[in-house]
Amino acid sequence: MYRIHSWAAGIVLGLVLIVPSVSAQAPGKAPGIDVKNCDLEVTLLPDVHELEAVAAITFQALEQADYAAFELSDNLFVSKVLGEDGVELEFDRNRAGPETLTVYFPRGLEAGRAATIRIEYDGGFDSDRYSRIFSRDLGSAYIGMEGTALMYAAKWFPLNRFLADRATGTLSVTVPLGMTVIGPGKRLPVVTRGAGETFVWKSETPILPGSFIAGQYFLRTVPAGEFEIECFARESNLEAMERMAGEAGKILSWYAAAFGPAGAGKHFRLVEVDEVQAGQHGMYGTLLVTRRELAQSPPEPRELARRIAGQWWQETVGVRGVEDLWLADGMAYYSAARYLGSVGADAAFKEEIDRLAVLALKFEKQAAVRSGIELGYRSDRYESVVAGKGAWILHMLQGILGEEKFDRLVREYGRAGTAAGGGGREMFRKIAEEIHGGELGWFFSQWIDSVGIPTLEADYVLLKTIDGFRISGSLRQERDLFRMPVEVAVVTKDRETVQTVELSGTSTPFDIDVFTRPDRLVVDPRNKLLRDSGELKTAVQISLGDDLKRVQNFVEAIRAYEAALKLSPRRSLAHFRLAEVFYEQFSLQSAANSFRDALNGDLDPKWIEVWCYIYLGKIYDILGQRQRAMAEYTKALNTNDDTDGAQMEAARWLTTPFTRERTVMDAPEP
């Protein structure tokens, strides 16, 4: 009965509030407010995927205000808003914009005045009962006994200035006995009442509030260098989480040395979550680890390094507006690349930078970096434009400044952004220009405010001179207003001569003198410029195909892989991925043909050879051609390649015929 009454109350209140005094106020731009404190009391009803909550919000009016607008998911229904004197205030939903709650003050608020309101609401994120307005992102909003995740991005509580306004406060969550709640800040004593327990998390530092994870967890505390890490995981995964904590300690120490201390200090938490939460970076002092990541041995550091970097650039420094999110997510991804380079040398850094270039180009043309939030926060498109391209913008800036000056920029920006309660492009640019000693507006404008990347070509002739040889040529690209310093290297038998060309407009001439006859000319030899190429376009199509295959959209995945093969017919990886899709669909002849095409291609990466033989062996076994299958398994063993346990896999099916008992693919990760 309560659920029906609460829902009805929200509808009735919404109708009552459509009166002349309210409707006469044009929505316009909402008056500015600054939330100072947010206390949340939440009761989870995981068996019906719902919650009941009260939010006590203290804020300061930044200008004369008759009303205040908050962002709140349409999955939630407000039943009552109370002022400081306990009197009910008028409110309505979505008048100021989608997913908004507008609260009206009968006597208005003077600029600088603080006020506290109490908002009572309920609702849920169940796909059946709330199908019309169901949350677009299960990773940020799900309530259930098997596990609950309510993250800031789900807007499950009233918030102001998305991802920018920070507040102190407490988070009090009541759950059924047996569930544990992990939130941001400091954990207070747990209170048990009847069949429920209340977990309280308090933050005295202004943070992005409200995120928490709840589930059935075991706890183990692990010392990791100078850090203490609490591990929350299923009992069967505690040892794997301990290993992950050891890896986290190394990453935390590297970041602390590079950027200074994180806001959360020396105490962090690792929490096991489902794969659907893989796109969430975590919350203040808390890092998320998926079960797939826990199953990897040894632990794969890339995703963990990105999420830990988020503790600095999103949770500690933050931004003042969504147009500068690239300075949080882009900096996190680039910081992770630099960490991977520190433990894996230049080759590991180059591999990660190449990976980020592919990520950046996947959806680069769909939005400028500063407006990437419009693509959907934490969506694949957002990750491409804001995190991927944002990381490459920082990489290119390091190429202009040099590593020493860039490191100084990062540290000074981190300190300034933290002190100001959030960083941003103008702050970052000002510090960069002071360190660089020159104007950089052109750089930020062309890379952040617009879409498109250059395609560079070099035309040149070789001339004999009195002192040796001269390479006289020009760099060409199609963007008339584009400018960028570009390195050009001339490689001879005994040395490499590098010259920086100040590229401007569609064609820029250059002359390079060398003593001995050149072997070749290389544009951008240090990989400092994000630019288009046939090889990169091929990699982007393969990556898009992988994404589509992962969600079992096989028809579109095939189209993406075929597009890659049109660009690069001998690309073994594209043939292999296409073969996997055919194999999954049980189109065995097409799969076999594509695996053979992969073997006749460039065989990059090397593991393709061994796994092609294994898959061909499985296909022959499925078709009852045992001798041919054994021949393929033997070829696999003869490669001596053990990528992802290939040797054991081949030996297993050489002994026992393979039978198709499952439909999920078991291919190695790229």
- Per residue in 155-213, pLDDT (tens digit) is 999 999 999 999 999 999 999 999 999 999 999 999 999 999 999 999 999 999 999 99
Same domain, 97 and 27: yes
Q: Does the pLDDT value for residue 5 go beyond 80?
A: no
d(Cα 197, Cα 174) in Å, to the nearest integer?
Answer: 5
Using CA atoms of 31, 35, 41, 42 in order, give the dihedral in degrees to the nearest 10: 70
Decide if 189 is inside a domain: yes
d(Cα 594, Cα 46) in Å, to the nearest integer?
Answer: 47
Same domain, 374 and 480: no
Q: What is the CATH number of the domain that holds 367?
A: 1.10.390.10
Q: What is the CATH number of the domain that holds 237?
A: 3.30.2010.30
Question: Within 13 A of 647's CA, how many CA atoms are on the CB side?
Answer: 7
The total number of structural domains that make up the chain: 5
C-alpha dist (Å) from residue 655 to 361, 607, 630: 45, 22, 9
Residue 87: which domain range? 2-215
Position 575 confidence tier, pLDDT thresholds 50, 70, 90 = very high
Position 665 confidence tier, pLDDT thresholds 50, 70, 90 = very low
Same domain, 15 and 163: yes
Same domain, 584 and 617: yes
Same domain, 132 and 150: yes
Q: Is 512 helix (H, G, I), strand (E, B) or coil?
A: strand
Same domain, 200 and 255: no
Structure tokens at 465: 């001179």
Strand ranges for 1-99 from DSSP E = 33-45, 50-61, 65-71, 76-82, 91-93
Position 29 confidence tier, pLDDT thresholds 50, 70, 90 = confident
Q: Does the pLDDT value for residue 663 go beyond 70?
A: no
Strand ranges for 46-88 from DSSP E = 50-61, 65-71, 76-82
Same domain, 502 and 486: yes
10 vs 587, which has greater pLDDT? 587
Same domain, 89 and 195: yes
Same domain, 303 and 345: no
- Tally of CB atoms within 10 A around 53: 21
Backbone torsions φ then ψ of 517, nearest 5 degrees: -65, 130
Residue 494: per-residue pLDDT:
84
Decide if 165 is inside a domain: yes
pLDDT per residue over 467-491, tens digit each?
Answer: 899 999 999 999 888 999 999 999 9
In the DSSP assignment, the letter for residue 131 is G
Position 96 confidence tier, pLDDT thresholds 50, 70, 90 = confident
Same domain, 201 and 282: no
Residue 27: per-residue pLDDT:
52
Same domain, 560 and 471: no
- Tally of CB atoms within 10 A around 1: 5
DSSP strand pairing (227-233 vs 267-273): parallel
Decide if 170 is inside a domain: yes
Same domain, 240 and 167: no
Residue 265: per-residue pLDDT:
94
Q: Residue 360: what residue type?
A: A
Position 661 confidence tier, pLDDT thresholds 50, 70, 90 = low
